[in-house]
Amino acid sequence: MSVFAVREAGSADLILSNPAAEQKIIGQLLYDDSWAEVIGDKVDDRDFADPLLGRIFAVAMREVAERRRVNLVLLAPLFKDDDEFHDAGGQRYLQDLTRDAMTDRLDDAYCSQVRLLATQRRLIASLRETIQSASVPGADLPAIVASADSALSAAIEARDDITFRDGSDCIDEVIDGFDRQIVGVTSGIVEGIDHLIGAIRPGWLGILAARPGMGKTATIVSYLRGAAAQGHHVLLASLEMTWETLALRLIADHCHSTGQPVSFDAIMNRRVQDHHRRQIRAMRDEIAALPMKVIDKRCHTLGQLRRAIRRHKRLLEVQGKKLDLVAVDYLQLLRPDHRGNSEFDDVSEVSRTLKQMAGEEDVAIIALSQLSRSVESREDKRPRLSDLRSSGQIEQDADFVIFLLSEEYYLSKEEPRSDDQHYDAWASKMERARDRLEFSCAKFRHGADGIHHGKFFRRFQAVR
């Protein structure tokens, strides 16, 4: 018998397999069912190219799980109605498999190879399905690409062995970690987030939420610029603004940090003076050197966002570098690959998937979020967790939730006439609130809630 086999299961359907390795696994399980735990951690019934061996494996593992003995005598009656089992020789077939195990102990390499070949088969099947779908005239190519990406990810997804650790292992890990540097992202610019959260770790999902006009986008642009200046590789996916508009905000923020501020309005409307133009040209190389990228095509779906993240990760990994932080502006504009029955369902799915994505891609994710209009109807405009728009799932999935509040924004809309008796009181409040931005951490899974006051220089779209 050939060690490897490439056989046709249908028209042009070549299946990679190692029949001998699959038989060795089943033989060992029948000969000594105490191997079930070891084998079950490495392969499952879906990994067998031979459907009969896959069924035998599934039944054997089910019997072991129910604490019943497994051997060729006890297993054979369970296949009395299986024609393929009888065609293969019935109980005599199981005897042959068991006899081989008696003379040749199972090697871990058999399980590894069966698993590897199964992964290759799933990958081939996913590619074929994609080709078939894309061959139809008028095919929905974005949907096909999204579906293919999900299918390919599932096909090659690694399955980790389950491990158990006792209390001493956990304590030793903590003690050993005291001397290790914390891996995470800080800004060094936006003190509100740095003070409340500290280093944002890989796998975390953070939510930065506020009503319009509070400075969400300005905050995340300033935070990313600061993080990039410290060497962190960051990626911004904006579903609301074009990359050109974000570039203008980045320039205004950077100019402010140099002590030579240029108003965002002047940059936006191309009303910069000659010396400002020279200044911006001079800082061009500084900004270009930052390890910060903006996705130049809006990622409207989770599948598109995941592909963009993976593509950038691959480019960095080739250079021996790592993607540290992804920011999404903003969460409610991101759609699941398959729409739900309501906005609530869609936002819940987006929230859950972003949290999963952070873990699977080993990056931190910060998603900006809108708040419901109920904030505006209250005298106290300070946001609450219940104000998170569309879904309580966001609160559940997030590692931290930070709200932004600019009292200056609301006061500016209440300005009385200069001859009004209340003008002086308003002016006093306005002076205290000027450029003041409140960061309120309403949830932190890994620490305490709290409030920190920073600065939002609105004219320059710079947050500190």
Instruction: Report which of 430, 431, 438, 437 is spatially closest to residue 413, judged by C-alpha positions.
Output: 430
* Residue where one domain finishes, among candidates 156, 175, 205: 156
Helix locations, 49-107, DSSP H: 51-65, 72-75, 83-87, 91-103
Domain carrying residue 72: 5-156
- If asked whether residues 272 and 148 sit together in one domain, one would say no
> What digits encode the pLDDT tens for the residues 260-319?
888 898 888 888 888 888 888 888 888 889 999 988 666 778 888 888 898 899 889 888
- If asked whether residues 251 and 369 sit together in one domain, one would say yes
- If asked whether residues 238 and 152 sit together in one domain, one would say no
- If asked whether residues 129 and 238 sit together in one domain, one would say no
* In-domain check, residue 179: no
Average pLDDT, the chain: 86
* pLDDT score for 162: 56
* In-domain check, residue 126: yes
Strands (E), 359-399: 364-370
Which of left, alpha, beta for 12 (phi over 0: left; psi -120 to 50: alpha)? Answer: left
For residue 370, give the CATH number of its domain: 3.40.50.300
- If asked whether residues 267 and 381 sit together in one domain, one would say yes
- If asked whether residues 327 and 248 sit together in one domain, one would say yes
- If asked whether residues 273 and 418 sit together in one domain, one would say yes
Instruction: Report which of 395, 372, 374, 373 is spatially closest to residue 385, judged by C-alpha positions.
Output: 395
* pLDDT score for 15: 64
- If asked whether residues 141 and 14 sit together in one domain, one would say yes
Instruction: Report which of 452, 395, 397, 446 is spatially closest to residue 209, judged by C-alpha positions.
Output: 395
- If asked whether residues 196 and 249 sit together in one domain, one would say yes
* In-domain check, residue 449: yes
- If asked whether residues 292 and 419 sit together in one domain, one would say yes
> What digits encode the pLDDT tens for the residues 391-408?
678 888 999 999 999 999
What are the backbone angles phi and psi of residue 437, rounded to the nearest 5°? -125, 125
* pLDDT score for 343: 78
First-last CA distance in the chain: 71
- If asked whether residues 221 and 308 sit together in one domain, one would say yes
- If asked whether residues 347 and 242 sit together in one domain, one would say yes
* pLDDT score for 411: 87
Number of domains in the chain: 2
* In-domain check, residue 186: no
* In-domain check, residue 82: yes
What are the mean pLDDT values of the chain's consecutive 10-residue runs (464 residues total)? 48 67 92 87 88 92 87 90 92 89 81 89 82 84 71 58 67 75 89 95 96 93 95 92 86 89 88 85 87 80 86 88 93 81 83 92 94 84 83 85 93 87 88 93 94 94 92
* In-domain check, residue 282: yes
* pLDDT score for 173: 75
C-alpha to C-alpha distances, 267 to 100, 202, 238, 250, 257, nearest whole angstrom = 78, 35, 20, 11, 16
For residue 62, give the CATH number of its domain: 1.10.860.10
Strands (E), 81-144: none
* Residue where one domain finishes, among candidates 156, 179, 203: 156
- Residues near 60 by beta carbon (within 8 Å), at least 6 away in sequence: 26, 29, 30, 33, 36, 70, 75
Instruction: Report which of 38, 2, 30 is spatially closest to residue 18, judged by C-alpha positions.
Output: 2
* In-domain check, residue 178: no
* Residue where one domain finishes, among candidates 104, 137, 156: 156
Whether omega before 223 lies within 30 degrees of 0, making that bond cis, reads: no
* In-domain check, residue 181: no
* pLDDT score for 152: 65
Would you state the structure tokens that stand for residue 242, as one six-digit string? 């074009």
* pLDDT score for 151: 65
